[in-house]
């Protein structure tokens, strides 16, 4: 899709800024002085998400709402898969994604895997954070975290209420533009408040009845960190899927599968039921973790389902520009 051209009636002097909050057509844009300005998107074709760089100007009549005329090209964008099988931007111009799980609610590691795969496909760095550690870390969670460490992902244990604190997370955020993602109620907004106290993000106890978060955060918001870098808080999810590549490339979102796949008998092996599959061999020997392989198989099934429903997905996308 081509980027909409700037409209004709644009003021000659535009400022450049970054979207720090987006509510549909209404945005908050921080300029070079860091102060947020209330803005509205010009024209229906423009779309902006938190983290976007935009060009904007005050209205001549002195209207309190300024106008965003242009959204600059995005670099690394976190996207989610929409119902039509396409990617929809969630936050733009990131360097790093922090997948947050916690002692409570019960972690859904498949969600973590899908964020990590999505980060890999979008060339965004990824960190796994395990919050509420002052409550203790169950054996199952400790095994999953050790699994991510073995794959080379930085794993950070943290707590906003006690030991081990947030120091290890601070070290990973310095200088980066990061987004906190994960299930509702894992403490993303609480971590943001601990890291950038002026953020004053709303937080809420998880439900006693369902032991799930209450989906307290409804819009992504960006805050500057005193140690340099920026942190974006995002709404918690029940589930997440990134836009999927062609199904033969889904294994590239799983580092252990990608590194072993070269040993498969067939170059286009999907590590499903093919003979001579090195990945399934590694699964049998315990070199690849069963839960991660299951995670891969779930994404493969999702890819096949989308291929059946949207045949155009099977063709590599036409090159734009
Ligand atoms: N025990 C414990 N509770 C925490 C910790 N961090 C946050 N919480 C609590 O967990 C609950 C959920 O925290 P939030 O920060 O609202 O969670 P969230 O991930 O932003 O949730 P959504 O916005 O719904 O995605 C709140 O009651 C927090 O006080 C922690 O380190 N330990
Ligand atoms: Mg929140
Ligand atoms: Zn294979």
Residue 227 pLDDT grade (very low, low, confident, very high; cuts 50, 70, 90): confident
Listed in sequence order, the residues at least 6 apart from 63 whose beta carbon sits closer than 8 Å to its beta carbon are none
What is the spatial distance between Cα 121 and Cα 134, in angstroms, rounded to a whole number?
33
Atom of ligand 1 nearest to the CA of 215: 24
The alpha carbon of 215 is separated from its chain's Cα centroid by a whole number of angstroms, namely 16
Please check whether residue 145 is in contact with residue 117, taking contact to mean a CB–CB distance below 8 angstroms: no
Ligand in closest contact with the CA of 104: 1
Q: Return residues with CB closer than 5 A to ligand 3 (ion).
A: 264, 269, 271, 277, 279
| pLDDT tens digits along 286-299 | 999 999 999 999 99
State the pLDDT confidence band at 12, using cuts at 50, 70 and 90.
Answer: confident
| Ligand 1 neighbours (beta carbon < 6 A) | 131-132, 134-135, 159-161, 184-190, 203-206, 213-217, 235-236
CA–CA distance, 1 with 97 (Å, rounded to integer): 26
- Tens digits of per-residue pLDDT, 98-126? 999 999 999 999 999 999 999 999 999 99
Confidence label for 20 from pLDDT (cuts 50, 70 and 90):
very high
Confidence class for position 57, pLDDT limits 50, 70, 90:
very high
Query: Probe ligand 1: pick from 107, 185, 215, max atoms within 8 Å of CB?
Result: 185
Average pLDDT over residues 68-85: 95
Helix (H, G, I), strand (E, B) or coil at 284: helix
Considering the chain, tell me which residue range(s) the CATH 1.10.40.50 domain(s) occupy. 247-314
CATH of 78-233, one of 3.30.300.30, 3.40.50.2000, 3.10.28.10, 3.40.50.300: 3.40.50.300
Q: At what angle do helices 139-151 and 109-121 cross, to 10 degrees?
A: 20
Whether 245 and 79 have beta carbons less than 8 Å apart is answered as no
**Helix (H/G/I), strand (E/B), else coil: 249:** helix
Retrieve residue 75's tokens: 């670099």
Is the pLDDT reported for residue 306 higher than 60? yes
**In 3D, which of 80, 82, 78, 81 has the Cα closest to residue 98?**
78
Q: How far is the CA of 292 from the centre of ligand 3 (A)?
A: 15
**Residue 253 in tokens:** 């979102």
The ligand minimizing its distance to the Cα of 169 is 1
Q: Is 193 helix (H, G, I), strand (E, B) or coil?
A: helix
Distance, CA 125 to ligand 2 centroid (Å)?
Answer: 22
CA distance linking residue 39 with residue 65, whole number of Å: 5
- The Å distance, Cα 178 to ligand 2 centre, comes to 15
Residues of the chain with CATH 2.40.50.140: 15-71
Class of domain 247-314 (CATH, top level): mainly alpha
Ligand 1: residue whose CA is nearest its atom 21? 185
Distance 254 CA to ligand 2 centre (A): 28
pLDDT value of residue 314: 73
CA distance 73 to 54: 9
Q: ∠285-155-300 over CA atoms, to 5°?
A: 50
Closest-CA residue, ligand 1 atom 24, reads: 215
**Nearest partner of 247 among 317, 318, 305, 320, judged by Cα:** 305
pTM of the model: 0.94
CA of 185 to the centre of ligand 1 (A): 5
Atom index in ligand 1 nearest the CA of residue 133 equals 31
How far apart CA 170 and CA 195 sit, in angstroms, is: 7
Cα angle for residues 113, 114, 118 (degrees, 5° grid) = 120
**Is the pLDDT reported for residue 48 higher than 80?**
yes
| Domain range 15-71, CATH class | mainly beta
Please, which pLDDT band fits residue 43 given cuts at 50, 70 and 90?
Answer: confident
- When pLDDT is averaged across residues 55-80 and rounded to a whole number, the result is 92
The phi and psi torsions of 276 (rounded to 5 degrees) equal 70, 30
Q: What is the pLDDT of residues 147-197, one digit of tens each?
A: 999 999 999 999 999 999 999 999 999 999 999 999 999 999 999 999 998
Residue 279 to residues 260, 285, 295, Cα–Cα distance (Å): 6, 10, 14
Those residues with Cβ within 8 angstroms of residue 75's Cβ, 6 or more apart along the chain or in another chain: 92, 93
Residue 45 tokens, joined: 């074709």
Q: How far is CA 158 from the centre of its chain?
A: 19
Q: Which residues contact 171 (CB under 8 A, 6 or more apart)?
A: none
| DSSP characters over 103-115 | SSSPP-HHHHHHH
Candidates 240, 221, 237, 1; CA nearest to 118 is: 240
Distance (Å, whole) CA 313 – CA 257: 23
Delimit the CATH 3.40.50.300 region(s) of the chain. Answer: 78-233
- CA of residue 189 to ligand 1 center, whole Å: 7
């Amino acid at each position: 899709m081509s980027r909409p051209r700037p409209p004709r009636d644009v003021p000659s002097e535009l400022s450049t800024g970054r979207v720090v909050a987006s509510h549909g057509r209404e945005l908050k844009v921080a300029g070079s002085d860091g102060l947020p300005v209330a803005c509205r998107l010009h024209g229906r074709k423009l779309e902006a998400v938190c983290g976007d760089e935009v060009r904007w100007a005050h209205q001549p009549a002195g209207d309190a709402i300024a106008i965003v005329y242009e959204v600059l090209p995005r670099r690394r964008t976190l996207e989610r898969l929409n119902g039509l099988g396409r990617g929809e931007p969630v936050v733009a111009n990131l360097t790093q994604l922090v997948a947050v799980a916690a002692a409570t609610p019960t972690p859904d590691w498949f969600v973590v895997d899908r964020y990590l795969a999505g980060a890999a496909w979008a060339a965004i760095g990824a960190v796994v954070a395990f919050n509420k550690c002052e409550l203790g870390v169950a054996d199952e969670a400790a095994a999953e975290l050790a699994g991510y460490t073995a794959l080379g992902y930085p794993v950070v244990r943290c707590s906003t209420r006690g030991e081990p604190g947030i120091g290890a997370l601070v070290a990973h955020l310095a200088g980066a533009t990061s987004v906190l993602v994960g299930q509702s109620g894992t403490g993303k907004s609480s971590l943001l408040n601990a890291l950038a106290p002026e953020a004053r993000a709303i937080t809420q106890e998880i439900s006693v009845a369902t032991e799930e978060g209450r989906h307290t955060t409804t819009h992504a918001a960006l805050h500057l960190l005193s140690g340099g870098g920026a942190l974006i808080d995002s709404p918690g999810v029940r589930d997440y899927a990134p836009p999927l590549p062609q199904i033969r490339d889904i294994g590239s979102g799983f580092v252990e599968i990608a590194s072993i796949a070269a040993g498969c008998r067939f170059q286009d092996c999907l590590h499903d039921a093919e003979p001579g599959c090195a990945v399934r061999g590694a699964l049998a020997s315990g070199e690849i973790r069963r839960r991660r392989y299951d995670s891969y198989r779930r994404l493969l099934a999702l890819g096949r389902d989308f291929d059946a429903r949207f045949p155009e997905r099977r063709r590599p996308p036409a090159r734009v520009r």
